[in-house]
Structure 1
Amino acid sequence: MAIKTAGLRPGAVVKVRSRRYLVENVEPPTDARWEQTLAELSCLEDDAQGEHLSVLWEREVDAQVLPQPDWGHLARKGFDAPHIFSAYLHALRWNLVTSTNPRLFQSPHRAGIQIMSYQLEPLKKALQMPRVNLFIADDVGLGKTIEAGLILREMIMRQKVKRILIACPASLVTQWQSEMEARFGLSFVIFDRDYLFNCRRERGYAINPWTTHSQFIVSHSLLRDEQYASPLRDWLKQHPSGSMLVLDEAHHAAPATSSVYAVDSQFTRGMRELTPLFEHRLFLSATPHNGHSNSFSALLAMLDPQRFIRGEQIKDPRLLDQVMVRRLKDELRELVPDLGLPKRDVVQHDISGLPEDAPDLALMRLLTQYRALRDKRLEGSRRSQQTAANLVITTLQKRLFSSIEAFNSTLRVHRKSMEKLAVEAESEVTAALLHA
């Protein structure tokens, strides 16, 4: 067995159980009759860096000491020309400077896209923060995904981020994965039910699937499930530093009502438990404010609990400017005319000369009559019921303005729900008469 332990010493790189480890300590056997060398190892793999492992070296089936790099061949072919060495030296200096200077960026030069000047503003603000607590609230179509990718790539290159979680609606999961891979060279694993099943099948049911990779994309719906959220919290508690959360469509995590301490949704409660466990947080939403100041402050408290408190109105706009980047298309169109952003002009076209029995006019008159009947029936009801009824009529009006087909499909759903309510009401009246 002496051959098997040859080269086993602190600092050596070994391969045990199909993974690479760094030897931290070696304790030879105390009794010569038993060949049991205790090796203290630290994992070198990307998905489990630093994880400790203690093994009895001779008892491991595939244990081997990996050969050390041979530096003896250096300079055998001579030295590089001065201009080549100078270019190499300047490249090293540039990388070192950009790792510490927040005014110099690397990620824009390593992205496979044409970047607009305004898209560098979130990156600049993020690098000026000790910890990234940033809310990108740019208008739709201005490239929030690109701005987030620039920040992620820069933070990885500066070695400030080691673990990344992107949470987005289920319909955007594959889009996020493809854009991060194609535009920034970042490989993300989609965490879903299939991935969880494969991890448990390959590594055992006790494995925490969040420890198998360092960059994940997960849908909002799965984060509501404790089966997925609980192991994620355990993973983050073990590795709090160097973690970053990217929450797309962040307004979904805000409470929907205007009361000070409203009953949160399941997703709101889940995100309130998760966000403090991340060192860096990046929120994205084109509609950050839902019209209720208390809901907005609750969302900002998840982003930066040091600056904002749930239930407290934001009276100082400078606090909001420190954590939020908000640009509208109209503003950028005036500031940067060369961007080529199309301008949308709403022009009214009056349609005249339609006969009185035209289907569109007939449907609108019937819908108006239906609304008047509902308003009269709900005159003495609660305000919440009246608001819900008005919302139904407004939705029907929007569908009618869209197309006859859209109005027809929505009206069918509404009719089924009303018939169901009528049947339930009739059943309650019948039951009341029987018990009377």
Structure 2
Amino acid sequence: MSAAVLAPGARIECRSAEWLVRSLGRSSDGQQVVDVVGVSAFLGEKEARFIVEVEQAAGSFKVLQPEATELVADPSPQYRDSLLFLEAHLRRTVPTDGSLVVGHLAAMDVMDFQLQPAAKALAMPRQRLLIADAVGLGKTLECGILCSELIRRGRGKRILVVTTKSMLVQFQKEFWTRFSIPLVRLDSEAIQKVRAKVSSSQNVFHYYDKTIVSIDTLKNDREYRCYLENASWDIIVIDECQNVAERAKGAQKSQRARLANRLATRSDTLILLSATPHDGKAESFASLMNMLDATAIANPSHYTKEDIKDLYVRRFRKDVIADLRKTVKERESRDVECQASEREERVFALLADLKLPDTDAKAKAGQLFRTTLAKSMLSSPMAALETVRNRLKRLRAGATPAPADIAALERLEPLLEAIGAEDFSKYQRLLQLIRSDWNWTGKDPKDRLVIFTGRRESQRFLVEHLALDLNLPKGAVVPLDGAMPDVEQTKVVEQFAQEKEALRILVATEVASEGLNLHYLSHRLVHFDIPWSLMTLQQRNGRIDRYGQPQQPQIRYLLTASRSEGMGDTEKILRVLIRKDAQAQQNIGDPSVFLRVFDPAAEETEIEKAVEAGDASGLEARMEANAAPYLEASAGDGLFDELFGGSEGGDTSAGDVMADEPAPGVQRSQAFSLFPNLWSYVERSLEAVSEQMERRGEKLDLKPYPAEERLELSPPKDLQRRYDRYPRELQPPRGQRLALSTDPEALQRALEQARRQDSARPELEYLWDLHPLVDWLGDRGLIAFARHQAPVLQLSEELDPGEVVMVLQGTIPNQRGVPVVQEWVAVRFTGSGLRVAAVEPFAAVAERLQLGRHSYANPGAPIADSLKQQRKVAVDAAHQYLLECRERWKERMQPELESQRERLRRLRGRQIEQLELAYAADQRPRQIKDKKRTADQKAIEERFKDHERFVEEVMTIEPAPYLKLVAVLHREA
């Protein structure tokens, strides 16, 4: 028999101790690295990482051979410890196909469309995917489903999530409460604390395995970037990834893009999330695709759907409405007209004829200052006054006199100063909406309001006046804006979701329009001013109209109506925006296709041009023409067609908009278990833990509620140590019992209870396969027997007299150490001889014997000597069985490997060809051009060499299996 290879599940001896191999990888210099957990009594559950070559050279590294396994008796009642030992090994078995085994079981009301990104990613050689679903469809949850699947496969030990600072807490909570993934929140304060704990030579990103950090925190510190370049993760998630695309608009965005490009090389798995993934420019979107696969696109300005279709998932509300209607009710939207007061009309009248000759002479089209003033006035007189004063300040301080401009603005300034709250029509109508239309008093903590405004002065006015005029207590009206520190933003978002908090009205600027869940206690949203961007409008509405909203969303648009000539056209244009947002929701999906500029700031410029031209009808006609190709578009991979409009930038024709293939069905599977369900396994395992503790003179503080599949438990020391490694905000208070339930609905009720009790964490945790308690029980099951031992179960029925079944676990990894063949084999002997009667899947034998479901008496019979002779024969038979599985795997993978090789050859040729074309047109001096061309060609070769190496390692299987003799089933003759 060939020597066993190192693989997850193997047991090794290293440094005079026994370890269980959890995963394998490679160091930066290509040496094999093994992650292990201690299984001896002395080590407990200590984790370690060894470089195999170094340990082998020191003579302290040995893979335990299965034929030398000691066969031992199990004294536990009904072979409980043996069954838990077997089950623990089964639970460490890594799924090797693309079916979902845990993600669909997370604590959520999962819908089929939310499983498709994980299914698509698992079918890839490596999981690098843009999830670009529209606002409110649950991208964070889709990401969590995929991460759960990778963790279950042993490929999610180290995780880094990068998001906006306002999303840190929300993302952390979703991952913990629904998926049991404990992300440590590294805001600016937390990173400083870590730096104070570690030496200056240590990498702060090695301190925690699973972290979440703000993109702005990372991009502003050179030292953090250095740390990142010298760290690696199993999974990297970049949320709101449109912020890291290369858009060449200022230093801030280029800093983010450079950071993201560095991160893209630090993990095999990269998940990008965005509801607005492109700005209409091929090069910008190509930068995101290149992060996912640097070989896919030869020319960032010209590429086809075929080049990138495997790299993203894109669905809109209209595409998944059948699923979504189960949980989200149709929104109720209404325009609320506000007739301008007399003092406001004076300002509008002056604005209509406002002439600023010096300022307007320097303005570009669509940027007249009169339009800027009108826009701020439509937000509030206070915002308009601030705009006027800021412009006057600049004009008075300028080197070139502008007396006409200054005089015109000085006439406007006192008119704006004279408008108080009582003359502010929109504010008075807002009060009427809240008090009378909605009969809202602020007494119900589950009925909170979100008010959006694009102007800080309008926000300040609302925060100052609403509490007084609505007779609300201190702390009931709170602002949320981008100027607040990340810690303060986090605090406000948390308070808005907690029932006991006094906060009733959140007055937010656009910082709250991306990603935040504001729907837990709020179903009413007011646009105090209408953003001049359809993309922003969609993002705002998505804060309360989203997956998980239990009530009908109510959205109100406040529109100022003026008698002044010219302002009527502006009102018409704003109404066009509202109608188009509703149309996008119903039958188009992406509102950005109406203007086809794909950037909120650029959309605002287009609307400003229409306002200055007074052309509401022309604007609407242009929007309808732009949207026409999308009215009949199917669900699926339509993102490319959004980007190029079905006719630009690539080889895709307009007909291709309708040609997307339907999403394939998602395969779900259930991992084989000896127990009928998770609860029965946990219950039996805790029974064993209780007895073990009693033998040590300790007592397990446990209260089970079997009928509800719920338990309360004071964590024993070794379980408490695991919780001690988690973020403080996720840990139960010291001395308090853990409360766990297998019921997702019970968890949802606990989350609501936590909001009522002003608690950052629910009192109940979701008990499922990835919960730390289940992982801890699995590790305890693995050490139920001493080093290199297998229990013998003496069964008195079901087996034939004299029959022997040797149960072996077999693993063959690929060259990256990832198991690609995992088989549980039952080698059957009919008596004490050495002839193998059959080799069959263990699952079939376990089902026939009803192991774990049927109670078998433990007679405590001695172990027959013949079993020791049969070990070697059984191992050889299982070895041959695994080799046959290996050959079948190679035969199945060979066409795919050849396809990948051919693809890379084709893409390399395309990139070299594009390089030649680029330098043929280059007019620089030959010496400079040749030097740069050589460097670029070398970069292409390195890029493809790395990718080819990865493909070969993933799709090439090791020559021999690792086998472990786990148990023996025997009936005496």
Same-fold call, TM cutoff 0.5: yes
What is the correspondence of 1:93-132 to structure 2 with a 5 Å cutoff?
Answer: 96=93, 99-109=95-105, 111-132=106-127
Instruction: Answer whether contact 1:137 1:287 (CA < 8 A) is retained.
Output: yes
**By how many angstroms is 1:427 displaced?**
7.9
Indicate how the Cα distance of structure 1 residues 13 and 228 shifts in structure 2: closer, same or farther if over 3 A, else same: same
Aligned match of 1:80: 79
Do the aligned residues in 2 keep the contact of 1:200 with 1:206 (CA within 8 Å)? Answer: no
Q: Does structure 2 conserve the Cα–Cα contact (< 8 Å) formed by 1:258 and 1:292?
A: no
1:213-265 superposed Cα distances (whole Å, 9 cap, x missing partner): 111111011221212111111123xxxxx522111110011233599xx9962
Q: Could you tell me which residue of structure 2 aligns to residue 174 of structure 1?
A: 169
- 1:325 aligns to 2:320 (yes or no): no
Which amino acid letter does the alignment assign opposite residue 121 of structure 1?
Q
> Could you tell me which amino acid in structure 1 is paired with residue 49 of structure 2?
Q
Q: Does 1:195 align with 2:190?
A: yes
Give distance in 2, aligned partners of 1:221 and 1:251.
Answer: 14
Query: What's the CA shift for 1:285?
Result: 0.8
Q: How has the CA–CA distance of structure 1 residues 103 and 367 changed in structure 2, closer, same or farther, with 3 Å as cutoff? A: farther
Of 306, 312, 321, 2:295 maps to 306
Are the aligned partners of 1:301 and 1:309 in contact in 2 as well (CA < 8 Å)? Answer: no
Q: For residues 46 and 349 of structure 2, what CA distance do their matches in structure 1 show?
A: 66
Partners in 1 of 2:117 and 2:191 — Cα distance? 34
Are residues 104 and 220 of structure 1, via their aligned partners in 2, closer, same or farther at CA, if it must alter by over 3 Å?
Answer: closer
The match for 1:65 is: none
Q: Secondary structure at the match of 1:235?
A: coil
Deviates more, 1:198-207 or 1:262-271: 262-271
Paired with 1:313 and 1:258, the residues of 2 have a C-alpha distance of: 21
SS at match of 1:216: strand
3-state DSSP class of the match of 2:398? helix
Give secondary structure in 2 for the equivalent of 1:151.
Answer: helix
Contact 2:35-2:48 at 8 Å conserved across structures:
no
Q: What's 1:235 paired with?
A: 231
TM-score (norm 1): 0.68
1:65-107 CA distances to partner (integer Å, 9 max, x unpaired)? xxxxxx99951135438xx95x9978966874x7112123212
Q: Tell me if the contact between 1:47 and 1:214 (Cα under 8 Å) persists in the aligned partners.
A: no
| 1:414 and 2:398 are equivalent in the alignment | no
1:245–1:278 CA contact under 8 A, matched in 2: yes
Percent sequence identity over matched residues?
25
1:341 aligns with 2:336: no
1:268 is aligned to 257
Partners of 1:207 and 1:428 in 2: how far apart? 58
Other-structure match for 1:282? 271
Q: 1:359 to 1:321 in 2, by over 3 A?
A: farther
* Residue in 1 that maps onto 2:147: 152
Alignment of 1:1-80 (within 5 A): 10-13=14-17, 49-50=49-50, 75-80=74-79
**TM-superposition CA deviations, 1:150-198 (whole Å, max 9, x none):** 1111111101233211001111112211221111111111223433333
The CA deviation string for residues 114-166 of structure 1, in whole angstroms up to 9 with x for no partner, is 21221101111111111111111111111111111111111111012332110
SS in 1 for 2:265: helix
- What per-residue deviation string (whole Å, max 9, x for no partner) do you get for residues 384-425 of structure 1? xx45x35x76665555445x3xx51x3244234313422431
Match of 1:254 among 219, 222, 245: 245
Q: 1:76 to 1:325 in 2, by over 3 A?
A: same
Does the 8 Å contact 1:46/1:213 carry over to 2? no
User: Compared with structure 1, are the counterparts of its residues 203 and 337 closer, same or farther at alpha carbon in structure 2 (3 Å cutoff)?
Assistant: closer
- CA 1:94–1:207 in 2, change beyond 3 Å: closer, same or farther? closer
Which amino acid is the alignment partner of residue 231 of structure 1? Y
Mean CA deviation greater in 140-149 or 340-349: 340-349
Tell me the equivalent position of 1:226. 222
Is the CA contact (8 Å cut-off) linking 1:329 and 1:341 kept in structure 2? no
Cα distance change, pair 341–213 in 1 and its aligned pair in 2 (3 A): same
Structure 1 alignment gaps of length 5 or more: 1-8, 15-40, 55-70, 237-241, 430-436
- Could you tell me which of 339, 342, 354 is aligned with 1:358? 342
Tell me the matched-pair count: 355
Alignment of 1:368-383 (within 5 A): 368-370=352-354, 373-374=355-356, 377=358, 380-381=361-362, 383=364
Match of 1:425 among 398, 418, 439: 398
Question: Aligned in 2, Cα 1:266/1:77: closer, same or farther, shift over 3 Å?
Answer: closer
**Measured at CA, do residues 394 and 221 of structure 1 come closer, stay the same or move farther in structure 2, by a change above 3 Å?**
farther
Cα distance 1:350–1:420, how it changes in 2: closer, same or farther (>3 A)? closer
Change in 2 beyond 3 A, CA 1:349/1:222: closer
Say if 1:168 and 1:220, in contact at 8 Å, map to a contact too. Answer: yes
Counterpart amino acid of residue 224 in structure 2: Y
In structure 2, list runs of 5 or more residues that go unmatched: 1-12, 19-33, 38-44, 55-69, 403-973
- The one-character-per-residue Cα deviations of 1:318-337 (angstroms, maximum 9, x if unpaired) are 4443111111112222x447
In 2: Cα distance, 1:162 partner to 1:363 partner:
61
Tell me the distance in 1 between the aligned counterparts of 2:361 and 2:227. Answer: 50
- Equivalent of 1:204 in 199, 208, 215: 199
The answer to whether the 8 Å contact 2:244/2:253 transfers is no
Other structure's SS at 2:230 match? helix
CA distance in 1, matches of 2:360, 2:388: 21
- Asked whether the 8 Å contact 1:42–1:51 carries over to 2, the reply is no
Root-mean-square deviation over aligned CA pairs: 4.1
Match of 1:163 among 148, 158, 161: 158
SS at match of 1:115: coil
Q: Distance in 1 between matches of 2:389 and 2:267?
A: 46
Judge conservation of contact 1:297–1:313 (CA < 8 Å) in 2. no
Matched residue SS, 2:108: coil
Q: Distance in 1 between matches of 2:79 and 2:384?
A: 77
Contact 1:43 1:49 in 2 (8 A): yes
CA deviations on 1:276-329 (whole Å, 9 max, x unpaired) are 222111111111112323222222222322213563233x22444311111111
Q: Distance in 1 between matches of 2:51 and 2:350?
A: 70
Change (3 A) 1:309 1:271: farther
Quickly say closer, same or farther: Cα 1:421–1:291, change in 2 above 3 A: farther
> Aligned partners of 1:191, 1:281: CA distance in 2, in Å?
20
| TM-score, L = length of structure 2 | 0.33
Q: Which amino acid aligns with 1:381?
A: K
Question: Aligned equivalents of 2:360 and 2:112: distance in 1?
Answer: 55
* Local SS of the residue matching 1:244: strand
